[in-house]
Structure formats: C-alpha cells, structure tokens
Amino acid sequence: MTTKDIRERIETLVDQGIGKTLKETGGIKHIGIDPDKSLVIMIIEIAKTGGEEEKTMLRQIAKIVKIEMGFKGLKVQFEETKKLESLGNRKIKFIIVASGKGGVGKSTVACNLAYALTRQNKKVGLIDADIYGSSVPRILEMKHEYPTASEDQKILPFHAFGIELISTDFFAGEGKPVIWRGAMLNSMMNHFFNDVKWSKDLEYMIIDSPPGTGDIMLDLKNLAPNAEVLIITTPHPSASDVAIKAGIAARQLKHNILGVVENMSYFINAVNRAKEFIFGSGGGIQVAQKLEAELLAQIPINQPKHHLSLFESNEEAGQIYDDLASLVIISE
Ligand SMILES: Nc1ncnc2c1ncn2[C@@H]1O[C@H](COP(=O)(O)OP(=O)(O)O)[C@@H](O)[C@H]1O
Ligand SMILES: [Mg+2]
C-alpha cells in the first residue's frame, strides 16, 4: 500500500461544504505513512471545518484507511480553505474595466456592458471598486442602503436591472465619502470576493476600477488570476496616452487585454445625421494598436431615452452595447 493508493481512494470523497470531490478541490494536501506504526497521517483542506461536514469526511476516510485498507492508526488534520469558496475560483469570466484616467466613461460602459449581457440572458455580477468616485449606484438608479448579512454571515449583494452588485458606496453613510488607504482597498476587494453571497450561477463579473493603473490590478491578480482587462479611452490623445499606460500596466501584471472601447467617439448631428468628431478622433485605434488589442466598440456621445445612464436595445448606443456584449461572449 502506497500513499498513491490511499490518495486514489480518498480523492473521490465529496467535500460536503462545497459539493465537489477532493480531487476537484485539490483538498488533499499531504498523505504520509509510518509503516512501523501502521499509521497514516494526512492534511485535508475542506470548505468548512468543525462541523458535520468534517465529521462525515473523517468517518469516510477512517472507513477506507482502517477498515478497507487495514491500517491500524489514522491522524487527519483538517484545514479550512476560504479560497475554495472564493469567487476567483469559480468558472466566471472576470472583466476589469480600466482607463487610467477618470471621467472617460468607465462606469457608464461597465454598467451598460453588464446590462447588455443580461439582455443576452447572461447572469452578471458587478463590483464597483471605484472607492474614490463610486458612481455605479447612481447609474443603476439605486437608493442608498446599507448592506445586510445572510444567516451564514455573508454580505448579501444588491440587485438592479437584473445585475447582482456590490459597491463601496453602500458601506459609507449616504452622500459621505470614505477615507480609504491602499491597504483598506485590498481588504475590501478580499471581502467582495470571499464574503459576499454571490449567486452560484454567475457567468460574468464586471469590475469597475478606480482611476490610476496600479493597486487594484495587483490585488486582482491574486483574487482573479484569469481576469481580463477592458480598456476605455476617449478619442482625445490626453485620454489615450493614459489608457495606453493602463494597458501596459495590465500587461506587466500578466492580465490579458480583452480589448479597447472608445467612448464619446462622435456626436450625431440631429439635422443631417453626420458624425461630428467633437472630442477629436483616433484615440481608440491608437490605444488598440499600441496594445496589440482589438478596438471592440466606438460609443457616440448621447443621452439615453429611457433611463438615467443605461441604454436599451432599441437605441443606437444600446445596439452598440449589444454588439460589444456579443463580442465579449464569443471571445471565450
Ligand atoms: N457616451 C457618452 N455620452 C454622453 N455622456 C457620457 C458618455 N459616457 C459617459 N458620459 C458621462 O460622462 C460622465 C463621466 O462618466 P463616468 O462613466 O462616470 O466616467 P468614469 O467612470 O470613467 O469616471 C458622466 O456624467 C456620464 O454620464
Ligand atoms: Mg467611474
């Protein structure tokens, strides 16, 4: 009998706390045999320790090791892994919306992309991580509410327009800013990933990031290693130069770049339907070329008809967001 034999038998056991086998969770951390004492020692990582799940697992392991395989002694050390439940471990497409510069329409694009994905029957989550200028709740026309907790002490996400979301804004008093430091941002993102009761069937998670290039992408490299970055720019060089820097920073952190969106690209003259490039032109294509990424959409300057900042499919910008959502879906 080798440790390999034991592993093969044990790894089919199901971690009841997460509903996956130990093979799937990679929960077998160590198996050792002390042949003199006929003793098996193992370290097993499970989603929840100290409860029925642990007792059941121990009984099943003891049955295999002692009764079926004939060892005299067994010592199992259980360790709880938060990581298993973490959002970052799930099969979700993470999209970090970044621009480097503020005011280019990052939050508007993030929310409209999320909304367009729900129109294609996708289950979408949104994390508003712009701690300095959180605007997602306003874009989604939400009233200020403090978060509440579920019975198992998880933060319940909010819902708007079919999107499941959490925002730093809800943790502050209404209309009040929070003074954040880098370290707090990191622990906030950890909470958003580990302690929010996100729906089990989320397919997309859009992350609206604060202006700047650094901190958040670094945190997300650990939390969601497969996250891809959507770079937002305007046609003007003042925005595209900074967007390129944000893209380079993303690359350095080994984040894949999903593509580039040029926002406020043009204005459609109501009289002759001509496109007027009032904020300049070429920013989007320049960013895409520099980052060797694709320019996925060019969004005109306009105001939505039905909502504060969200467009519907029967509007021109809404159609552009529908196309962007389709490109995001087929990019998998
Ligand atoms: N395509 C657009 N046409 C008109 N106004 C826009 C457009 N995109 C964004 N805006 C407006 O510009 C402002 C900044 O957008 P926002 O999404 O908050 O930018 P960021 O998140 O990058 O700071 C908001 O008032 C928003 O309504
Ligand atoms: Mg914003």
228: which strand partners?
95, 256
Cβ pair 100, 213 in contact under 8 A: yes
> Ligand 1 centroid to 105 CA: how many Å?
4
In this predicted structure, which of 8-12, 70-74, 194-198, 202-206 has the lowest mean pLDDT?
194-198
One domain, residues 63 and 138: no
One domain, residues 190 and 325: yes
What are the tens digits of pLDDT across the range 255-284?
999 999 999 999 999 899 999 999 989 999
Which ligand 1 atom sits nearest the alpha carbon of residue 299? 1
Indicate the residue among 32, 54, 80 that finishes a domain. 80
Q: How many domains does the chain have?
A: 2
What's the predicted TM-score (pTM) here?
A: 0.79
Domain that holds residue 13: 3-80
Cβ pair 106, 98 in contact under 8 A: yes
Query: In this structure, what CATH number is given to the domain that contains residue 25?
Result: 3.30.300.130
Indicate the residue among 80, 96, 122 that finishes a domain. 80
One domain, residues 74 and 96: no
What are the tens digits of pLDDT across the range 135-192?
999 999 999 889 999 888 889 999 999 999 999 888 877 777 766 666 677 778 888 9
One domain, residues 36 and 63: yes
Pocket, ligand 1, Cβ cutoff 6 A: 99, 102-108, 135, 263-264, 299, 301-302, 309
Res. 84: pLDDT tops 60: no
